[in-house]
Amino acid sequence: MKRIIFILTLALVGVSASAQNNIYKAVVGVHKNAEGSVVVSDPSTTLAVDLTFETEQVVVGPYAKYAQKYLETRGALVDKSTTSLKSAKIAIVTDDALAASAIAEPTTSVTSYMGTEAEFAKISPDRLSSSAMSLDDAAAQAAQAIYTIRKNRMDLISGEAGENVFGGGLKDALEALDAKEQAYLELFLGKKVTKTHTERVIVPIVAGVNEYAISRTINGKAENLKLVLTPSEATPKFTTLSEVDPRDKTAIAVRIANIATCAVMAGDKVVGSAALPIFELGRTAYVAGAVK
């Protein structure tokens, strides 16, 4: 039977009223739509699940192996990337397959002051002359520059230097030193690139089925996510219309959706949830009306 969902207001007034549908209530079977055409309706619900993933990538700095030697700290020695599921949003598809809401745009955040997400500055900040030097010497020079910047910062804060630098000028000077130190530090400690992207999964709901598998590969491992529907214990009812005996000649069958809790589960953890009207978990009622 063809499934039709009309996003309109239910109007069943008197014996000559036409039957119309919305995402909470929909006429079952043959009826007239808002345009006066006779249609066949099989109320159903389709959900769109938007899964947002975050990928954190660590890009190794060129002086990483000298971090312990010159800065007494450890830098990442191997590029690595880790992806995790951050959130899930659930919405009802109200007409075509992608009609729920726009998928969030991908984002990229780079913890770095210089270069791009994949590379460091073309001219490293430790190059103070055109003379060639070993990687070890360049790292030593960069480390010394970091300690010099830190001393200059303390001199500014304590008033030992820059006695005429105060107010907004002091703030700008400190921010410039912070940026320069970060540029040197990332040569040792690398940089962190954080990216997010959203995938949409369309889930047609089936009567009698309350769990739906949403399998995804994360970090090369299969992760079994689930969409779980928990119907409300309250029986869906009409608030403005009286129900009649289904044997009444003027009776129209109307499907009333159950407001169910729809949750995306990763193991025992709820990643996202929403209370949504689900036809397949509701009931069929009969109201007085007539289909011409």
What was the pLDDT predicted at 216? 83
CA 56 to the chain's CA centroid? 15
Cβ neighbours around 73 below 10 Å, total: 10
pLDDT computed for residue 193 by the predictor: 85
Per-residue pLDDT, 77: 84
Helix (H) or strand (E) holding 46: strand 46-59
Which residue would you say has higher pLDDT here, 133 or 205? 205
Residue ranges of alpha helices (H) inside the chain are 67-71, 135-158, 168-189
Residue 48 in this model has a pLDDT that exceeds 90? yes
Q: What does the alpha-carbon distance between residue 284 and residue 147 come to, in Å, rounded to a whole number?
A: 75
- For residue range 112-128, list pLDDT tens digits in order: 544 555 566 555 666 66
Q: In 10 A of CB 159, how many CB atoms?
A: 11
Lowest mean pLDDT among 28-37, 78-87, 153-162, 240-249: 28-37
What pLDDT, on a 0 to 100 scale, did the predictor assign at position 166? 60
| Domain range annotation of the chain | 25-45+205-288, 54-195
pLDDT tens string 172-217:
888 888 888 888 888 888 888 888 899 999 999 999 999 999 988 8
For the chain, the residue count is 292
Query: pLDDT digits over 57-84, tens only?
Result: 888 888 989 989 998 888 778 888 899 9
Mean pLDDT of all residues in 77-93: 90
Could you say which DSSP state residue 37 is in? -
Nearest residue to 62 (alpha-carbon basis) of 131, 110, 133, 153: 133
Percentage of the chain modeled with pLDDT above 90: 27
Mean pLDDT of the chain: 78
Return the pLDDT at 12: 31
At residue 34, the pLDDT reads 66
CA distances 153 to 7, 70, 145, 173, 204, Å, are: 63, 20, 12, 9, 61
Reply yes or no on whether the pLDDT at 5 is more than 80: no
The two three-digit tokens of residue 230, written as one number: 């928990």
Looking at residue 51, what is its pLDDT? 92
Contacts of 168 (CB under 8 A, 6+ apart): none
Comparing 203 with 110, the larger pLDDT belongs to 203
